[in-house]
Amino acid sequence: MDPRVSVVVLAYDEEANIEPTAREIHATLAALGEPFELVLVDDGSRDRTGALADALARDLTGTRVIHHGTNLGLGGGYRTGFESARGELLTFFPADGQFPADLIPRFVALMPGRDLVLGYLPEARPSLVGRTLSACERLLFRLMFGPLPRFQGIFMIRRATLPRLALASSGRGWGSSSR
C-alpha cells in the first residue's frame, strides 16, 4: 500500500540534528494514523549524517534513506524527493529542525480540495541580517514575478500535481513553473 503522506528530510552535514528531527517527524506522522513514509536524503554529507540516517531507517518503520555521492545542493535534494516520494501528499523539511513537525497535520488538514499549501511562520524572529536578506529576496521575486503569497520555505503538494510542473533549474538551486 502506498503511503498517504511522504515527508522528505534534506540533510547535509547534520549529524547533530538528523536524529532528533527525524524522530520528531516520525512521531508526528505515526500520530496521524495514516500510512506514511519518511525519506531521509543524505546530500553527500562529510560527517556521520549518512550513517545516522541509515540507523534511523533500521529503527523507525516507514523510513528509508537515499544517499547522494556528492553534495547536489537544495535543488538536487528537492529533485530526489520529488522523484522518490510515493505518498499522495508530499512535503519537505530541512534536517536542522528549523520547522516544527506539528506543521504536518495542519497541512494535511488543509489539503482537501487543494493541490498546494504554502507555509508561513509568523512567529519566526530571524536576525536583522536574516530579515534584510529575506526582504531583498521578496523584493526580487516581486519584481520578477509580481505579487506572491507569503511563503517561508515549507509547503505540502499533492504528488499528482507534480507532472504539471516543470523544474526551472537543473542546478543546485530550485524553482518550478506551470506548464
What pLDDT was estimated at residue 125? 58
Of 11, 41, 8, nearest to 25 by C-alpha is 8
In this structure, are 164 and 100 located in the same domain?
Answer: yes
If you search the block for the grid coordinates 497535520, which residue do you land on? 105
In this structure, are 31 and 96 located in the same domain?
Answer: yes
Task: Give the CA-trace dihedral at 110, 19, 77, 50, to 10 degrees.
Answer: -160
In this structure, are 73 and 112 located in the same domain?
Answer: yes
In this structure, are 28 and 80 located in the same domain?
Answer: yes
What pLDDT was estimated at residue 154? 78
What pLDDT was estimated at residue 177? 41
In this structure, are 86 and 138 located in the same domain?
Answer: no
In this structure, are 109 and 36 located in the same domain?
Answer: yes
Rounded CA-CA distance 18/150 in Å is: 28
In this structure, are 133 and 73 located in the same domain?
Answer: no
Q: Is residue 28 classed as helix, strand or coil in its secondary structure?
A: helix
What pLDDT was estimated at residue 152? 57
Q: What averages of pLDDT result for each successive group of 10 residues across the chain (179 residues)?
A: 94 96 98 97 97 98 97 88 94 89 94 87 64 71 63 79 70 45
Element (DSSP H or E) covering residue 63: strand 63-68
Element (DSSP H or E) covering residue 43: strand 36-43
Share in percent of the chain as helix, strand, coil (round to 5): 40, 20, 40
For the record, the C-alpha cell of 14 comes out as 547534520
In this structure, are 85 and 49 located in the same domain?
Answer: yes
- Please spell the DSSP secondary structure of 131-155, one letter per residue: HHHHHHHHHHHHHHH-------S-E
In this structure, are 84 and 143 located in the same domain?
Answer: no
Rounded CA-CA distance 93/42 in Å is: 13
In this structure, are 88 and 166 located in the same domain?
Answer: yes
What pLDDT was estimated at residue 145? 60
What pLDDT was estimated at residue 64? 97
In this structure, are 146 and 163 located in the same domain?
Answer: no
Domain that holds residue 140: 122-151
How many domains, the chain? 2
What pLDDT was estimated at residue 179? 39
DSSP 8-state class, residue 156? E
What pLDDT was estimated at residue 123? 58
Question: Which CATH number belongs to the domain containing residue 29 in this structure?
Answer: 3.90.550.10
In this structure, are 59 and 106 located in the same domain?
Answer: yes
